[in-house]
Amino acid sequence: MLRVDTLRNIATRSLSGTPEGEMARKPNHADAQLILKLYDLRREPEMRKARNWWLTGFWPRSVEDFMSVAQSPGTPENAWFRQGASYWGMAASFVNQGVLSESLFLRPGFSGEMFFIFAKVHPFLKAFREKIGDPEAFQDMEEAVMRTKWGRERLKFLLKRIEVWREKVAPKN
C-alpha cells in the first residue's frame, strides 16, 4: 500500500535544486517517480469507482446537482465526489507549489482526467463555492488548469464537448 509519507519523500526530493517560486522546470527522475506513484493510486479499487462515477455517471446540469451530492454524506456518490476532487486537488497542488514538473503533469495522458472533471465543475464553480461557504473549493485544480494558455484552451475545448455529451447521456430532471 502506498503511504502518504512515501509521496511526501518523493515530492521533497524533486524540490532539491529548484529555486523558490520557479514553477516551469525540466522534469527529473523524482518527477517521473511521483507521476508513477500518483498513477498507481488511481488503480485502487474504490478510486476506480470514483473515477468512473466522475467520468460516466455524474453529469451535473446545475449547482443543485452538485449540492445534492455534496450534502449526502454516507452515500457512495458523496464519497466518490470527495475522493475524485481531493485526489486531483492534491495532485494539482504539487504542481502549483513547484513540487512536480508542470510540463510532465499537464501531459494529457496523465492529467486529462483532471481537465475533464474540472470542465464538469467549472460552469457551477462560483455558485458551488458560495453555497458551501468555501471560496477555496476546487482551487488547486482551477489553478493548475488555468495557469497555462494550453490549459485554458483545453478547458474551453472540453466545456463544449461536455455540453454535447451531457445532452446525450445525462438524465433530464
In this prediction, residue 26 carries a pLDDT of 87
Q: Quick check: 164 pLDDT over 90?
A: yes
d(CA 74, CA 94): 29
Residue 145 identity (one-letter amino acid)? V
Q: How many domains does the chain have?
A: 1
Q: pLDDT tens digits for 56-87?
A: 999 999 999 999 999 999 999 999 999 999 99
Q: pLDDT tens digits for 107-150?
A: 989 999 999 999 999 999 999 999 999 999 999 999 999 999 99
* Cell reading at 103: 510540463
Which position has the grid cell 524540490? 15
Residue 64 burial (C-beta neighbours within 10 Å; 0-12, 13-18, 19+): middle
Domain range holding 44? Answer: 4-169
Q: 156 with 163: CB under 8 angstroms?
A: no
Q: Is the C-alpha dihedral spanning 125, 128, 130, 135 positive or negative?
A: negative
